[in-house]
Homo-oligomer: A and B are copies of this chain.
Amino acid sequence: MKQTAPLQHNYHHGDLYQSLLLTATEMIAEGGTESLSMRKLADRVGVSRTAPYHHFKDKNTLLCAIAEQGFERVETLLQEVRTSASPEPLATTFTQYVHTYIALAYQHREQYDLMFGREIWRNGTPTNSLLERSRQHFKSWLSWIEQLCQQNVIQTGDSVLRTAQVYWATLHGLCRLLNDGIYTEQSQLEEMANTAVNMMLKHQTTA
């Protein structure tokens, strides 16, 4: 509420909340979720072990906040792609999105793992805020697939919902396969993305 408060050190540390979020994201990017301990984080930020607990109830809550930012990023990407009045045909736009999505997941692999990993969704408890944002993102995706179906870019005999689920699963599966380094490497990324797009767009085509 106070906007005129002097920046920096308006309290003990300043904006510790943001500082924690930022540093934690860095640490995760460097060495994954496991390399992030609340104690090391506090150390790196320069506060005592338990200081973070006044800004994040849990380690889980902190992780949820980071995951949430990841969802914001992909949501932004999706919206940008959808609203960009590109002269390209919609199929091309879709293809580009797939490539960008996979590239993004690879670029922020650790955060991506966090977004969909068991750390939050199985062990931990997703924050309401995170739940909402992730659901909203899937709705955006669903809505786009619906549009693509209506405009005959995607032709499927199955329901839009199922199609959206399976298509996203394909995308997600590719990302995991890549991120986990199983059966493949990043160099094959482009080709695999193209193959995936072919599979999706030519799904039940009659010509």
Q: Which residues of A contact B (CB under 8 A)?
A: 32, 34, 113, 116-118, 121-123, 134-135, 138, 156-159, 162-163, 165-174, 176-177, 180-184, 188, 191-192, 194-196, 198-200, 202-207
Give 15 A-B contacts (CB < 8 Å), ordered by A residue. Answer: A32-B118, A32-B122, A116-B180, A116-B182, A121-B181, A156-B198, A158-B195, A159-B195, A171-B173, A172-B173, A172-B177, A173-B174, A199-B199, A199-B200, A206-B207
Contacting A117 at CB < 8 Å: which of B118, B166, B184?
B118
Contact at A203–B206, with CB atoms within 8 Å? no
Chain B's closest residue to A120 (CB) is B180
Residues of B within 8 A of A199 (CB): 156, 166-167, 170, 199-200, 203
Q: Is the CB of B176 within 8 A of A168?
A: no
**Most B Cβ at <10 Å: residue of A116, A199, A203:** A199
Which residues of the partner chain B approach A157 to less than 8 Å between Cβ atoms?
Answer: 198
